[in-house]
Structure 1
Amino acid sequence: MRIKLLEPLGVDRKVIDELSSKFIEAGHEFTYYNEKTTDIEELKKRSEDADVLMIANNPLPNEAIKSAENLKMLSVAFIGIDHVGQEECKKKDVIISNAAGYCDQTVAELVIGLAINVLRNMKEGDAATRNGKTIAGLIGNEISGKTVGIVGTGRIGRRTAALFKAFNCDLLGYDAFESEEAKEMDIKYVSIENLLKESDIVSLHLPLTSETRGFMNAEKLSLMKETAILINAARGPVVDNKALADALNENKIAGAGLDVFDMEPPIPEDYPLLHAKNAVLTPHVAYASEESIYRRAKITFDNVYAWLEGTPKNTMKY
Structure 2
Amino acid sequence: MRVTFFSAKPYDREFFDRLNADVGFELMYYETHLGPHIVNAVENSAAICAFVNDKLDAGVLRVLAEKGVKYIALRCAGFNNLDLEAAKQYGMRVCRVPAYSPEAVAEHALAMILTLNRKTHKAYNRVREQNFALNGLMGFNIHGKTVGIVGTGNIGQAFARIMSGFGCTLLATDIRENDELKALGVRYVPLQHLLAQSDVISLHCPLLESTKHLINEASLQQMKPGVMIINTSRGGLIDTPAVIAGLRTKRIGSLGIDVYEQEEKLFFRDLSHTILNDDTIQLLMSFPNVLVTGHQAFFTEEALEQIARTTLSSLSRLEQGQAPENPAALLV
* 1:304 pairs with 2:311: no
Q: What is the aligned partner in structure 2 of residue 260 from structure 1?
A: 259
2:192, 2:232 → 1: CA distance?
A: 21
Distance 1:81 1:226, change over 3 A: same
Kindly report which structure 2 residues correspond to 1:272-287, keeping only aligned pairs within 5 A, or say none: 272-287=283-298
The match for 1:33 among 29, 35, 44 is 29
User: Secondary structure at 1:230's aligned position in 2?
Assistant: strand
Distance 2:223 2:10 in 1: 38
Identity of matched residues, %:
26
The 2-side partners of 1:170 and 1:105 are apart by 20
Matched residue, 1:315: 329
Distance 1:218 1:41 in 2: 36
Q: Within 1, Cα distance between the matches of 2:323 and 2:38?
A: 32
Q: Is the 8 A contact 1:120 1:142 kept in 2?
A: no
Number of positions where the alignment pairs a residue of Structure 1 with one of Structure 2:
312
Matched residue SS, 2:252: coil
Query: Structure 2 CA distance, aligned partners of 1:33 and 1:45?
Result: 11
Q: C-alpha displacement at 1:277, in angstroms? A: 4.4
Partner of 1:50: 45
Q: Which residue pairs with 1:101 in the alignment?
A: 99
Q: Report the alpha carbon displacement of residue 223 of structure 1 after superposing the two structures with TM.
A: 1.5
3-state SS of 1:68 partner: helix
Q: Is 1:16 the equivalent of 2:16?
A: yes
1:189 corresponding residue in structure 2? 188
Q: Alpha-carbon deviation of 1:153?
A: 0.8
Partner of 2:110: 112
Distance 1:35 1:268 in 2: 21
Is the 2:255–2:291 Cα contact (8 Å) retained in structure 1?
Answer: yes
The runs of at least 4 consecutive aligned structure 1 residues that moved more than 6 Å come to none
Match of 1:174 in 2: 173
Q: Counterpart of 1:283 in 2: which secondary structure?
A: coil
How far apart are the structure 2 equivalents of 1:171 and 1:114? 18
CA RMSD of aligned residues (A): 2.4
Counterparts of 2:233 and 2:12, CA distance in 1: 27
Q: Deviations over 1:31-90 (max 9, x none)?
A: 4225334462532331x5433322223414332321233433322111111222434202
Task: After superposition, give the CA deviation of every residue in 1:111-166 in whole Å (9 maximum; x if it has no partner).
Answer: 00110111112233234334425002322112222111100111111111111111
Mapped to 1, the partners of 2:22 and 2:304 lie a distance apart of 20
TM-score by length of 1: 0.88
Alignment CA distance shift 1:262-1:192 (3 Å): same
Aligned 8 A contact 1:49 1:68 in 2: no
Equivalent residues in 2 for 1:223-242 (5 A)?
A: 223-242=222-241
